[in-house]
A and B are shown apart, each in its own frame.
Chain A
Amino acid sequence: MRETVKISKIFLLIEKFQKLDRSLIYMILVLGLISILSLYSIDKGQGTIYLKHLVRFIFAFLILIIVAFTHVNFWYRYAYHFYFLILFLLVVLKFVGVTAKGAQRWLDFGFFHVQPSEVAKLAIILVLAKFYNLVKVENTNKIFSLLVAAILILIPFLLVLRQPDLGTAVLILGAALGTLWIVGLNRKIFISGFIIVILCLPFIFAGMKPYQKQRVINFFDKERDPLGANYQVIQSKIGIGSGGIFGKGYLRGSQSSLDFVPENHTDFVFSHFAEEFGLIGSLLLLWLFFSIIKRVTLIGDQSKNNFSKIFCYAFAFNFFLYIAINLGMVTGLLPVVGVPLPILSYGGTAMLTNMIGFGIVLSSKLYNEDFI
Chain B
Amino acid sequence: MKLFKHRPTEGYQTKTSIINRRKAILTTAKYTFFGLIGLRLLWLQVFQGNKYSILSDRNRFKEWKIAAERGLILDRFNNKIAENRQLYRIALIKGDVTDLDFVLTTLNKFLRLDNEIIEKTKTDFTKLRKFQPYVINKNLTWSEFSKINSNLFILNGVQPFISMERHYNYPYEFAHVLGYVGVPNENDLQNQKDDLFRTPGIKIGKLGIEKILNRELIGTPGFTRFEVNAAGRAVRTVEFIDGVSGNALKTSLDLELQKLTYQKLGRYAGSAIAMDIKTGEVLACVSTPSFDTNKFAFGITQPEFNELLKNERKPLINKFLSGQYSPGSVVKPIIALAALENKIVDQDYTHFCSGKIELYGQEFYCWKDGGHGRINLKDAIKKSCDIYFYEVARLLGVDRLAETIRKFNFGQTTLKDFDEEKKGLVPDTKWKKNVLGKPWLLGETLITGIGQGYILATPMQICKSIAEFANGGYAVNPTFYLDEKSKLSRMDFDAENIKIINEALVAATNEPGGTSYGSRLSGKLRFAGKTGTSQVTKLTIKDREDNANPNSREYKYRDHSLFAGFGPVEEPKYAVAVVAEHAGPGSRVAAPIASSMFDFLFKKRISNA
Task: List chain A positions with a Cβ less than 8 A from chain B.
Answer: 133-139, 142, 144-145, 178, 181-184, 235, 237-245, 254-255, 258-260, 274-275, 278-279, 282-283, 286, 289-290, 293, 297, 300-301, 305-307, 309-310, 313, 317, 320, 324, 327-328, 331-333, 371-372
Contact = CB atoms under 8 A, between A and B. Distances in A.
B41 A238 contact: no
B22 interface: yes
B8 A306 contact: yes
A243 to B, nearest CB: 6
Interface in B10-31: 10-12, 14-16, 18-20, 22-23, 25-27, 30
B34 A286 contact: yes
A307 B15 CA distance: 11
A293 B26 CA distance: 12
The interface residues of chain A, by DSSP majority, are classed as helix
A254 B59 contact: yes
A184 B24 CA distance: 12
Contacts of B164: none
A84 B145 CA distance: 71
A313 B23 contact: yes
B37 A242 contact: no
Contact of B227 (A134, A181, A258, A286): A258
Given A245-B49, A331-B40, A137 B11 contact: yes
Contact of B49 (A138, A242, A333): A242
A61 to B, nearest CB: 25
B416 interface: no
Contacts of A317: 26, 30
10 contacts: A136-B5, A142-B3, A242-B52, A242-B53, A255-B56, A279-B46, A282-B41, A286-B34, A306-B16, A371-B9
B38 interface: yes
A303 to B, nearest CB: 10
Contacts of A279: 41-42, 45-46
Interface stretch (B229-237, B313-321, B579-587): B229-237
A241 B8 contact: no
A105 to B, nearest CB: 25
Contact of B19 (A184, A240, A241): A184
Given A183-B19, A372-B8, 12 more contacts: A144-B3, A183-B18, A238-B52, A243-B45, A243-B49, A245-B45, A255-B56, A283-B38, A290-B30, A310-B19, A313-B19, A313-B26
Given A142-B3, A244-B46, A274 B41 contact: yes
Contacts of A238: 52, 55-56, 59
Contacts of A135: 3-4
A91 B503 CA distance: 116
Interface in B177-202: none
Given A331-B40, A371-B9, A240 B2 contact: no
Contacts of A242: 49, 52-53, 55-57
A321 to B, nearest CB: 10
A145 B51 contact: no
B22 A181 contact: yes
A260 B33 CA distance: 28
Contacts of A305: 8
Interface string B549-570: 0000000000000000000000
Given A260-B59, A317-B26, A324-B33, A241 B18 contact: no
A202 B40 CA distance: 29
A293 B230 contact: no
B contact residues, range: 35 or more
B228 interface: yes
B606 interface: no
Contact of B26 (A136, A181, A324, A332): A181
Contacts of B38: 283, 286
B60 A254 contact: yes
A313 B14 CA distance: 17
Nearest to B31: A290
A139 B19 CA distance: 15
Contacts of A278: 45
A313 B27 CA distance: 10
Contacts of A235: 59
A320 B44 contact: no
A274 B37 CA distance: 12
Contacts of B3: 135-136, 139, 142, 144-145
Contacts of B30: 290, 293, 317, 320, 324
B36 interface: yes
Contacts of A245: 45-46, 49
A162 to B, nearest CB: 29
A134 B8 contact: yes
Contact of B34 (A138, A183, A290, A313): A290
A259 B37 contact: no
B151 interface: no
B86 interface: no
B49 A241 contact: yes
A182 B22 contact: yes
B141 interface: no
A279 B43 CA distance: 10
A306 B19 CA distance: 8
Contacts of B45: 240-241, 243-245, 274, 278-279, 282
A3 to B, nearest CB: 37
